[in-house]
């Protein structure tokens, strides 16, 4: 039987990026409020995706950000993993023996426009024709292509800090970037929210499945730890994210599929789930928007995926994912 989390420091596995470490510190603070005497040790882990500077789809997709950490969790080297839910593959079950213990209250799921600090541009519409906009996401590139087909979308990878450095000219980038589109939650977690010039509505750019959600993962057999972590979970976030991931699963999509999905809870308590599938240019797409009960988010996700498949989503995915 594994030691109780009270008998030694809790080992928290995370990526090495500044954002991942900031997210982990947030979890440590929450745990300290629950259990003031509980010690925690951060175990930074470099994943294969962190080392790769090319197109992630050629390496296997964003799921590689979590694979190395999950292996350490399965082996007992760490006790808890902190993941961005959008990076966790949704086309299959979690690795054997692992379980989502809690989803924290969702941060802002929307995307934002960031421009150089000395730029007067305030919105996407104000960018000049042919402007270079950085994004590493198929989902963002497709939707930007729909809104502004004249823009030149440049693939940019790296941490948020690295990408901002390229935008501001402190790190060489050819061609020079006129703007970036990044996650609002990422900027906020790094205390850089002031850099956002335009916050896109979910109708303008539909977020990624699981955007803004931090998930805590542990071994199913660690009952004491599982019970502790569940106290940090947010029921609304769980319902919304479950609907989104059920849609993703129904489409047999993964972290690099051309899929967007966002679920929100309406004032009457019902769930509202939007889903989209598109080709990389954004010229071909299908969309669905269905409401359902918060008591059965899996059913809602299934209904949205079925509607998208009826419209031809499988063919679009097959033609886009390499």
For residue 122, give every residue at least 6 positions away whose Cβ sits within 8 Å of its Cβ, in sequence order, or none: 197, 198
Q: How far is Cα 91 from Cα 315, in angstroms, rounded to an integer?
A: 17
Q: How far is Cα 298 from Cα 18, in angstroms, rounded to an integer?
A: 34
**Beta strand pairing status for 40-45 and 10-15?**
parallel
CA distances for 294 relative to 90, 92, 224, 269, 299, angstroms: 20, 23, 28, 7, 10
> In terms of C-beta density within 10 A (0-12 exposed, 13-18 middle, 19 or more buried), how is residue 271 classed?
buried
Alpha-carbon torsion, ordered 53, 54, 57, 61, to 10 deg: 0
Q: How far is Cα 273 from Cα 68, in angstroms, rounded to an integer?
A: 31
Please compute Rg for the chain using Cα positions: 20
Which residues are designated catalytic?
87
């Amino acid at each position: 039987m594994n030691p109780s989390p009270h008998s030694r420091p809790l080992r928290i596995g995370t990526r090495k990026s500044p954002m991942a470490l900031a997210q982990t510190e947030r979890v440590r603070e929450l745990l300290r409020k629950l259990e003031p005497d509980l010690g925690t040790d951060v175990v930074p882990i470099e994943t294969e995706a962190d080392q790769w500077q090319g197109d992630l789809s050629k390496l296997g997709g964003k799921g590689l950000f979590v694979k190395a950490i999950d292996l350490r969790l399965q082996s007992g080297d760490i006790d808890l993993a902190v993941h961005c839910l959008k990076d966790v593959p949704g086309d299959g079950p979690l690795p054997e023996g692992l379980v989502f213990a809690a989803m924290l209250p969702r941060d802002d799921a929307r995307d934002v426009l960031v421009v150089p600090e000395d730029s007067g541009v305030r919105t996407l519409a104000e960018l000049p024709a042919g402007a270079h906009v950085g994004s590493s996401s198929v989902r963002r590139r497709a939707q930007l292509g729909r809104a502004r087909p004249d823009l030149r979308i440049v693939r940019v990878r790296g941490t948020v800090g690295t990408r901002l450095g390229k935008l501001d000219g402190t790190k060489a980038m050819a061609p020079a970037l006129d703007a970036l589109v990044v996650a609002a939650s990422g900027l906020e977690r790094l205390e850089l929210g002031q850099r956002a010039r335009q916050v896109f509505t979910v109708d303008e750019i539909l977020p990624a499945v699981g955007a803004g959600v931090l998930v805590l993962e542990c071994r199913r057999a660690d009952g004491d730890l599982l019970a502790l972590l569940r106290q940090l979970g947010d029921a609304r976030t769980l319902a919304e994210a479950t609907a989104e991931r059920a849609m993703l699963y129904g489409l047999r999509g993964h972290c690099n599929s051309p899929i967007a999905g966002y679920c929100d809870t309406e004032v009457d308590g019902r769930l509202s789930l939007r889903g989209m599938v598109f080709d990389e240019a954004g010229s071909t797409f299908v969309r669905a928007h269905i409401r359902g009960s918060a008591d059965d988010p899996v059913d809602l996700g299934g209904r949205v995926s079925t509607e998208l498949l009826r419209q031809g989503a499988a063919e679009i995915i097959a033609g886009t994912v390499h």
